[in-house]
């Protein structure tokens, strides 16, 4: 008897679920709204919560000190310091970090290492490419802020379950 009851209640649960909302995010028509990227305050020595996506490099602040490259050395070895044809007063040697996203694990320890507020992370996660070369981003590419996405949604929960709105 109880076997039948348990079986019916299991089937009943499955039928009830037909009237629940759909949790699936309809990507890429809509995008999850992620406000900001991870950043770090070297004065207070503590990070500020945010998404760990592609980096953003502020060329006018970077001094070419290579501390970010040293921090990444044994993690993924993906930062190389390259020479650029630009002149900024604070960067005498004109060297800036270039990041290979084929290796980067998005840990953000390079951001923690930068003492000059020059290297942060953004909410951009769409980095896929068809060849390995274009995964290497030059300092100039890194300095461009990500484009704002369309169709931003957020997760909501009501009594018919979670959904995106």
Partner 1 sequence: MAERTLTLSIGPQHPGAGHFRLIVVLDGDIVVDVKPDPGYVHRGAEKMAEYRTYIQNIPHLERPVIIDSSGILFPYVLASEELLDLPPPPRAQYIRIIMAELNRIISHLYWLGIYGVFVGHTTMFLWPVGDRELFIDLAQMIAGARVTFAFFVPGGVRNDIPDDFPDKAIKVCNYYEKRLKEYEKIFFYNPLVLKRTQGVGILKREDAIELGATGPNLRGSGVKSDVRKDEPYSSYDDIDFEIPVYKDGDCWSRCMVRLGELYQSMNIIKQAIKKMPSGPVKNAKRGVLKGIEGEAFARTESARGTMAYYIISDGKPYPYRLKLSVPSFRCLSLMKHLLVNQHVADIPAIYWGLDYWPVEADK
Residues that bind partner 1 (CB under 8 A): 3, 6-7, 9-10, 12-14, 16-17, 23-24, 37-38, 45-52, 71, 73-76, 105-109, 112, 121, 155, 157, 161-162
Strands 95-100 and 79-83: antiparallel
Answer positive or negative: Cα dihedral of 54, 59, 62, 67. positive
Distance of CA 102 to the CA centre of its chain: 14
Pick one of partner 1, ligand SF4, none as the site partner of residue 139 (Cβ within 5 to 8 A by kind): none
Distance in angstroms (rounded) separating the CA atoms of residues 122 and 34: 10
Q: In which residue are the tokens 């769409």 written?
A: 126
Compare residues 84 and 119 and give the one whose CB is closer to ligand SF4. 119
Interacting residues with ligand SF4 between 68 and 97 (CB under 6 A): 68, 71-72, 75-76, 78-79, 97
Interacting residues with ligand SF4 between 19 and 78 (CB under 6 A): 62-68, 71-72, 75-76, 78
Distance in angstroms (rounded) separating the CA atoms of residues 23 and 21: 6
Q: What are phi and psi of 119, to 5 degrees?
A: -120, 120
Interacting residues with ligand SF4 between 117 and 136 (CB under 6 A): 118-119
Q: What's the min distance (Å) between Cβ of 100 and ligand SF4? A: 8
The neighbouring-strand residues paired with 155 are 164
Q: What's the min distance (Å) between Cβ of 136 and ligand SF4? A: 12
Distance in angstroms (rounded) separating the CA atoms of residues 29 and 144: 24
Which spans of this chain sit near ligand SF4 (rule: CB under 6 A)?
62-68, 71-72, 75-76, 78-79, 97, 99, 104-110, 113-114, 116, 118-119
């Amino acid at each position: 008897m109880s076997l039948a009851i348990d079986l019916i209640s299991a089937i009943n649960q499955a039928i009830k679920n037909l009237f629940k909302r759909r949790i699936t995010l309809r990507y890429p028509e809509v995008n999850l709204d992620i406000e900001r990227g991870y950043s770090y305050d070297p004065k207070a020595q503590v990070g500020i919560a945010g998404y760990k996506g592609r980096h953003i490099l502020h060329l006018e602040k970077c001094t070419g000190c290579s501390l970010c490259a040293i921090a990444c050395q044994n993690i993924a070895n993906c930062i190389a310091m390259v020479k650029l044809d630009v002149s900024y007063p604070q960067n005498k040697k004109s060297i800036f970090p270039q990041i290979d996203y084929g290796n980067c694990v998005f840990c953000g320890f390079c951001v923690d290492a930068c003492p000059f507020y020059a290297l942060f992370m953004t909410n951009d996660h769409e980095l896929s490419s068809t060849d390995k070369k274009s995964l290497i981003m030059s300092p100039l590419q890194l300095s461009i802020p990500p484009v704002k996405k369309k169709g931003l949604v957020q997760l909501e929960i009501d009594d018919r379950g979670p959904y995106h709105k």
